[in-house]
Amino acid sequence: MADRKIGSQTIKFNKPPSIIGTGTVVGPKEGIGPLKDYFDLIINDDLYSEKSWEKAERKMLKEASEMAIKNSKIPFANIEYFISGDLLNQIISSAFTARELGSPFLGIYGACSTIAEGMGLGAILIDGGYADNLLVATSSHFCTAERQFRFPLELGNQRPPTAQWTVTGAGAAVVSSDIKNPRITYFTFGKIIDMGEVDSNSMGTAMAPAAVDTMIRHFQDTGRTPDYYDLIVTGDLSSIGKDVAEDLMKQKGYDISNNYTDCGIMIYNNKQDVHSGGSGCACAATVTCGYLFKQMLEKKYNRVLLVATGALLSTTSSQQGETIPCIAYALSLENL
């Protein structure tokens, strides 16, 4: 019966949905990073002329969404669903953006893996004949995340070397039944993997085993090997987590050292004082919807495996002594 599922947790799309347009907005810090030329809009003020960082975050999400629709060249009225989630409690960035957009809304939560969870679900809706065009988006903001998950910024707490910098930005993509490159060919679901990490300033090491689990599952389910892809890119493991993932993959018999990188490493340069690298929903989202999408349009990459990672902790779970449950969703993006 489940003829579109292969192996244990991978969907193979019969009619691979297309990404027909993207939109990205990033903050000032991301706007001077190595990928600055690939973002549609760089804001020059973390508050983006709003009264709170939370309002600024959802303004970015709304604008990235509108840009994605504009760039896709389809009328706004053709957007059938808005799939979105974000780090803020009760995904308020997404819900308030959904209110502004007015499209039917599907709220999801995968922490920093949201862009892949959303694009995977979106591709299912398109491939299955439930929609022709829909919008997937997510956002994060250094200031909203830091004060919600860690400390008030005003305290000026020192950050350990393993800490990552939450990307300020938003990324959005229109997924469509129109046939254009790049296409979403496979979607591998993730399981919760929790290896006992408790330090919310060491997310890369917490999430690396989840990325590895999903990558291996993807290769086993599809029969592909790492060298099939021009690029394998995890969401936000950053420098420490990337090394862990590469080592764990090697232990399992997969050498990804030649074609593997991480969005959290790509988005900032070494001099930007971000410690281990970037993180947050907008990390994988802006790199995917900005850099990767545009490189695929230009055929600089033709086969990309995006493995977006998420740490599903809350301050409450941490305060109650819990470890960090992590997940990763993998999307195969290909020019066909």
Per CB under 8 A, which region of 6-14, 62-70, 254-262, 297-305 contacts a copy of itself? Answer: 6-14
Nearest CA to 112 out of 233, 323, 285 is that of 285
Q: 3-state DSSP call for residue 209?
A: helix
Name the residue with tokens 């410690």.
275
Q: Is 109 in the site for a copy of itself (CB under 8 A)?
A: yes
**Phi then psi dihedrals of residue 260, to 5 deg:** -120, 135
- Of positions 25, 68, 69, 111, contacts a copy of itself by CB under 8 A: 111
Does position 199 bind a copy of itself by CB under 8 A? no
Q: Which H or E run contains 223?
A: none
Would you list the DSSP string of 261-303?
EEHHHHSS-GGG--TTEEESHHHHHHIIIIIIHHHHHTTS-SE
Q: How far apart are CA 109 and CA 121, in angstroms?
A: 12
> Which C-beta is closer to a copy of itself: that of 14 or that of 158?
14
Q: Which stretch binds a copy of itself (CB under 8 A): 59-67, 93-101, 242-250, 266-274?
A: 93-101
Residues 207-236 that bind a copy of itself (CB under 8 A): none
Decide: is 85 part of the binding site for a copy of itself (CB under 8 A). yes
Q: Determine, following the binding rule CB under 8 A, whether residue 54 of this chain makes contact with a copy of itself.
A: yes
The CB-of-51 to a copy of itself minimum distance in angstroms stands at 8
Measured distance CA(14)–CA(191) in Å, rounded: 24
Between CA 27 and CA 5 the distance in angstroms is 39
Residue 58 CB, nearest approach to a copy of itself (Å): 10
Site string for a copy of itself, 122-161 (x = CB under 8 A): --xxxxxxxxx---------------x-------------
Shortest Å distance, C-beta 18 to a copy of itself: 12
User: CA 18, 172, 126 angle in degrees (round to 5)?
Assistant: 35
Q: Tell me the DSSP string of 60-80.
A: HHHHHHHHHHHHHTS-GGG--
CA distances from 277 to 30, 37, 206, 262, 270 (A): 11, 19, 14, 9, 9
Q: Provide the minimum distance between the beta carbon of 222 and a copy of itself in the complex, in angstroms, as a whole number.
A: 15
* Interacting residues with a copy of itself between 274 and 333 (CB under 8 A): 312-317, 320, 322, 325, 327
Distance CA 311, CA 54 (A): 20
Tell me, by CB under 8 A, how many residues bind a copy of itself. 63
Complex with a copy of itself: residue 35 or 134, whichever CB lies closer: 134
Query: Among 30-38, 92-100, 224-232, 254-262, which window interacts with a copy of itself (CB under 8 A)?
Result: 92-100
Told to check if 198 binds a copy of itself by CB under 8 A, we report no
| Number of alpha carbons in the 13 Å side-chain half-sphere of residue 41 | 22
Cα-Cα-Cα-Cα dihedral sign, residues 288, 289, 292, 293: positive
Binding interface with a copy of itself (CB under 8 A) = 1-5, 8-9, 11, 51-52, 54-55, 80-81, 85, 87-92, 95-96, 98-99, 102-111, 117, 121, 124-132, 148, 177, 189-192, 194, 312-317, 320, 322, 325, 327
